[in-house]
Amino acid sequence: MDGTEGSAGQPGPAERSHRSSVSSVGARAADVLVYLADDTVVPLAVENLPSLSAHELHRAVREVLQLPDIALDVFALWLVSPLLEVQLKP
């Protein structure tokens, strides 16, 4: 054998595309960690994360922290990565 056919341990192109399409099917709960300015963490379990709006996420954080609705005017959510920082407006 020359070793070019069916290397064990690595999926073929059909298997890779099947796995990526399966991962995006259906609504699932996801754990989200929200970090506050003082580095405390607010853990949230949210349903259907890809379609969650910034307003719904903001509301969930306010509920966990037991903040009044006026808090919407005094704090913001930011999505931060090593390459990008984006403020999420409700």
In a domain? residue 75 = yes
In a domain? residue 32 = yes
Is the distance from CB of 32 to CB of 49 less than 8 angstroms?
A: yes
**48-69 pLDDT, tens digit each:** 888 888 888 888 889 999 999 8
CA 34 to chain centre: 10
Residue 9 CB partners (closer than 8 Å, separation 6+) = none
Rounded to 5, what percent of the chain is helix, strand, coil?
35, 25, 40
What's the whole-model pTM score? 0.59
How many domains does the chain contain in total?
1
CA 85 to chain centre: 15
Is the distance from CB of 37 to CB of 61 less than 8 angstroms?
A: no
Domain range holding 78?
A: 27-85
- Ranges under pLDDT 70 in the chain: 1-28
In a domain? residue 67 = yes
